[in-house]
Structure 1
Amino acid sequence: MSVRVDGERLLRELAELAEFGRDPAGGLTRTSFSAADGQARAWYAAKCEEAGLEVRLDGLGNIVAGLPGGDDEPAVWSGSHLDTVPCGGAFDGALGAVAALECVRRLAETGRRSRRPVRAVVFSDEEGNYHHLLGSTAIRRGFSESELAAMTGRDGDRLVDALEGWAWARGSRTGTRVDPARVHAFVELHIEQGPRLEQHSVRIGVVTSIVGLGGGLVRFHGRADHAGTTPMDARGDALLAAARFIGAMPDLARSSGPASVITTGRVRVQPGGSNQVPELAEVSLDFRDPSRDRVAAMLEAIDRTAQEAAAAYGVTAEWDADEIVDPVPLDEGIREIIRARATDLGLSSTDIPSGAGHDSQNMALLAPTAMIFVPSRDGRSHVPVEYTTDEDAIAGADVLLATLAELADS
């Protein structure tokens, strides 16, 4: 296929998107269902409208865009997410979302006829403020009202409250599941978020598999008391128990396996006064491994370790675990197409696993799925200095376009 993406437009739109959610501390804070997220979605929808694309929304804010009609055949989907971590970067998710839109738009502009329609998708809350891979999980299996009602964000706000009056959600929150028969294939372009491609001077990563992940909250419940008048041996200090627990996590990860990782990225303490003994310490957890069995084993070990830490300080522990997101292999047939199209474009490529979670691992349970990685400078991601060169962003989008076009004809 000779058609290429409009590289200048792609880069311009990535820069425009990066203006939504600018954080005073640097980077982007575009939390799902926030005002900044709404601004980004309005911008995205306007770009779709300019291109003559129809935009469809579901009850949790997932966006699917494409030329009107064409529903007689299962569609080829591509996309990613617009939300970011707090003070994150401008490429994670954004590159894949903008590139998918660019590919659908270029296919429409050329008047190219294919057997199957191609759709651009934006998934809600990929970063898991309320739930790991919320939007793609909703597409894969859906959520019950009780599940949605129990979801809270990093600031303690409830998902159902955040969705009240949200302009970018339409229809039933529990009716989001997509029939697998509607999706022929899914391909996601993403930055690597690691150093391997850059270190080996390789332009395109052909992703072989995506890591399994779990998460949740451990809540240590103690008793609030005066910091000056309560003897040390009479305290029920929830934060001391949490500190012991957090300190045990690196060894727990090492004992699980060489690829296992555990992160405690957030701690919330109540009452929160410097002269009060903490009665509650809430610790967030993110843990990952390529093996589902090891992820499940870490989940159980976390609970045991929390109970031991709580007992050591005379408090109690409650482990509220999220659903495990299974590791998945990606489709070899699509991976071969990606390799071949990269070669056609004169781009080096290599097979590479993903240590980060992605919406693709949910889509892989609906349809044949693959991912394309492009290099990240110094392997940095989820930070303001996250960066992928213009040349690599355009190269990845060109490979994506060629891959989607071939799948649309299959």
Structure 2
Amino acid sequence: MTEDFHRIRRLPPYVFAEVNAAKAHARAAAEDIVDLGMGNPDSPTPPHIVAKMIEAVQDPRTHRYSTSKGIPGLRRALAGYYDRRFGVKLDPETEVVATLGSKEGLANLAQAISSPGDTILVPNPSYPIHQFGFIIAGASVRSIPYTPDDAMLEAIDRAVRHSVPAPTALIVNFPSNPTALVASIEFYRELVALCRRHGLFILSDLAYAELYFGDTPPPSVLEVEGAKDITVEFTSMSKTYNMPGWRMGFAAGNPRLIAALARVKSYLDYGAFTPIQVAATAALNGPQDCIAEMRALYKDRREVLVKGLKAAGWEVPAPEASMFLWAPIPERFRHLGSVGFSKLLLEKAKVAVAPGLGFGEHGDEHVRIALVENNHRIRQALRGIKTFLAGDNAAPTEHDVPAGAV
């Protein structure tokens, strides 16, 4: 009776737990920690969305069970967004389903389309649910390069030829969490052609579509002709409208995959609370100035942080999109690995970041830094980092973490 259950045995210890425990330990000691670890937007949800939620919740008819696949108006609103933004036509009845955030949608689609023995191709590093959603479902995962270029395309082709059984599906995530890389429409054209030849489904995570800093918005893979034959794409209200706690997302694309996801969901939930869906509809259909303001806010924070890190002696690439910096660990600390370096940074600089190992073994030479604090706090973090990097810090000091905290 002491052994873990089968599916639990397939999940490794949560990599972020060590850093989270050290962070909690520091805060319990009244230390002021600047938390740039979790991608948790700090700005409030726009007032017109909140107002619509309040209006809807005052109607007692909205207090009943909702619709698992999403209320019709919300699905039409998402289809309208795809038409305006990407020029992609979607049938709200058969090609859109609302999810409890993109994370839930990905996990439930994994349950719907994979079985023990199936192989799924997942970039490494990538957002944990991309891999573990399928591992929980019993499938096997084969890692491929995370860059949207020929290396990824060649790895996909090689995996199809050398995996037994042949892979069922491929995960892509651009703009990427954690790497912040962006794919071009030309890359997507090659990807769709390759996956159509090999009979591979494409599962695209587009949660950061509106968080970009250049003149060209990131494309959707569904813009490619024929992509809908093999593709489902996940989007989210969390980052676009500062609604992370509302848990509102979508899957859109191939009717067969959408139907499979909707069928699984029908057994598991009754959908998000109706007032949340009403408010999400208002967000998609209403004024979009809030998105431009949010984008400008993150761009300003990006400039402050990248410039400040460079001045401190830490060269970090400026991301083209997303709300993250994918920061290579400075050479003299690389032997510590991302968890050791993150703990050292927390202890010495009073700054929390996410260890790259949490996104896959090939992320262990990086840490992810989230743009989730205001510029005053970011500058405070930079002062701590500058002092830390200027000092003689070669190895982490062990925290006396309470038993059971990790």
| TM-score relative to the length of structure 1 | 0.27
| TM-score relative to the length of structure 2 | 0.27
Which has the larger helix fraction? 2
Which has the larger strand fraction? 1
